[in-house]
Structure 1
Amino acid sequence: MSPWHAFQAWRRQREARRHPLPAEAWQTACRRLPLLAALPADEAERLGERAWAFLRHKRISTPETAEFDLATRLGLAAQACLLTLGWSDAEAGEAFANVHEVVVVPEAFRRHVAEMDDAGVIHEYEDERVGETWFQGPVVISRIDLLDSGGWNGFNVVIHEFAHKLDMSNSRDADGFPPLPRDIDPREWHRVFTAVWDDLQAHLAHGRPTPIDAYAGSHPGECFAVCCELFFSAPGRLRHAYPALYALLSRYFAQDPLARRRPANHA
């Protein structure tokens, strides 16, 4: 460990002693959210500390209602931090250095979108969104969809939007190519994701149902975010559809969410 990382570790330990994790609120968050309840005790403890640190260092703007108690806010932060649970404290901190604020809005919202296609033609349309992320900007999440997240059903707006933030760690745009650990060759990443992308495009071109949410075929950045969403909240579905991608993401996140599932509730 470098002197700088050692110093940062000391600072985190000191801060944790000065601001201990509120145990009752964290236990409530874990009971409410199946994704958290499935964690082994040691992983749950580490995630709780990271979620608590996240709340203390990031601006969280939520509606002033009883449903946004401390346990709900911890649950939100924990679902974001779940993405980096398998990484070191230093790596986890660097991963979300571009996150400064999370804004929870009442419900899905509409945006006017103007996009240029490969032929240079501008297409304008109204797009309804349950979440939104900008480079060095806030993460915006719909309250209704936040409260629907946290289970094993394949939907998680927090994981989806924070996957975009990981993707934007090395560029202004979400392009499906985040910074990679040393043990993953960029050529392998490109090959595996390209195979998934091509398969999705083939299904869409022939009007066939896609193996995963068709939204993954709308843009490479959305492909990455949707696959991350499934990796954590419906791991069996992703592994069944694209086993090579599941294995790659397991190495990338240094986690195996499928191992957390009870056999009777295999998803």
Structure 2
Amino acid sequence: MFKRWFTRDPASPPADIWRKARQQTPLLAALTPTEADRLAERAWQFLRTKRLTRHAELSNAPFEDAERLAIAGQACLLTLGWSDAEHREAFANVHEIVILPESFTREVEEMDEFGVVHEGVDERVGETSYQGPVVIAYADLIESGDFIGFNVLIHELAHKLDMGNSMDIDGFPPLPRSLSAKRWHAVFSSVWEDLNACLEKGLTPPIDDYAASHPGECFAVCCEYFFTAPDHLVNAYPALYELLCDYFNQAPLGRIKTA
């Protein structure tokens, strides 16, 4: 169906399909009419230029048009506040989203503080690389889309933003001219130190402790909270919420009040 619609109206998706995508995705349903219209065009263009691939084991159920559009909408939510040129540049390294049935494992090697390399198996619900596909587990994708502080798609695409100026994630994405690197470093360093201090004291951190595993994961987890639990993030780390408001040029706290 999408090829037919692309030919008929290349500027925006059919209104009924976009309405259904928003209805089944609270993050999208909470947008203002202006935001929703802008995101509809971005998501439609995303589907025209990026690949969405489902594993063969998921082929027994149809890949509904509204489901595709909801996925594209959540992806483009990250860049909604940026110009069209900034949006295209930010996602220049996004080529394909691959959806697997369940979580998957990877063999990993990690070096400890003494220089000793440890081998192990890591279970993941998502992963990506500099020019590689965004791989996510369907079981976790269907749990995303609401204001619950978790969104595997936003997490992995935040890594793509992070790698906009580097081939590896480091928690330091390209910044707009209006945002200083000094402020970014100061705010995230404070969050990082607080997370690790909580863990050292045996306390539960105010956000998912996975954020304390690596600076790049800290950025991605904080992006998840910014879009899907902004009330929690602003209470835990108000300076971080304001920083991300300036970075994304969005204020999602107002959306959760209308959700």
Tell me the TM-score normalised to structure 2 length. Answer: 0.93
Shift of 1:99: 0.6
Amino acid at match of 1:116: M
**1:77-125 CA-partner distances (Å, limit 9, x unpaired):** 1111000000001100100000111100001111111112333211222
**How do 1:178-189 and structure 2 match up within 5 A?**
178-189=173-184
Q: Which ranges in structure 2 are unaligned for 5 or more consecutive residues?
A: 1-6
The separation in 1 between residues aligned to 2:8 and 2:249, in whole angstroms, is: 24
Matches of 1:67 and 1:143, distance apart in 2? 14
Moved over 6 A (4+): none
Match of 1:132, as an amino acid? E
Equivalent in 82, 87, 112 of residue 107 of structure 2 = 112
Following the alignment from structure 1 to structure 2, what is the Cα–Cα distance between the partners of residues 139 and 34?
22
Give, in angstroms, the shift of residue 31 of structure 1. Answer: 0.1
Q: Does 1:231 align with 2:219?
A: no
**What letter matches 2:152 in structure 1?**
V
Per-residue deviation, residues 152-206 of structure 1 (Å, max 9, x unmatched) = 0111001000000000110011100000000111011000000000000101111
1:244 corresponds to which letter in structure 2?
A: A
Indicate the residue corresponding to 2:70 in structure 1: 75
Distance of aligned partners of 1:112 and 1:83 in 2 relative to their CA distance in 1, 3 Å threshold: same
Partner of 2:4 in structure 1?
none
Give 3-state SS (helix, strand or coil) of 1:191's partner: helix
The letter for the 2-side match of 1:54 is F
Equivalent position amino acid for 2:22 in 1: C
Deviation string, structure 1 residues 53-84 (Cα, Å, up to 9, x no partner)? 10110111023243521111111111110000
- Pairs within 5 Å for 1:60-139: 60-62=52-54, 63-66=58-61, 68-139=63-134
Q: Is 1:215 the counterpart of 2:218 in the alignment? A: no
> Which residue, 26, 32, 39 being the options, matches 2:18?
26
TM-score of the aligned structures, taking structure 1 as reference length: 0.90
Q: Of the candidates 144, 147, 153, which is equivalent to residue 158 of structure 1? A: 153
| Distance change in 2, residues 1:122/1:94 (3 Å) | same
| Percent identity of equivalent pairs | 60
Cα RMSD after superposing both structures:
1.5
Aligned equivalents of 2:146 and 2:140: distance in 1? 12
Unaligned runs of 5+ in 1: 1-14
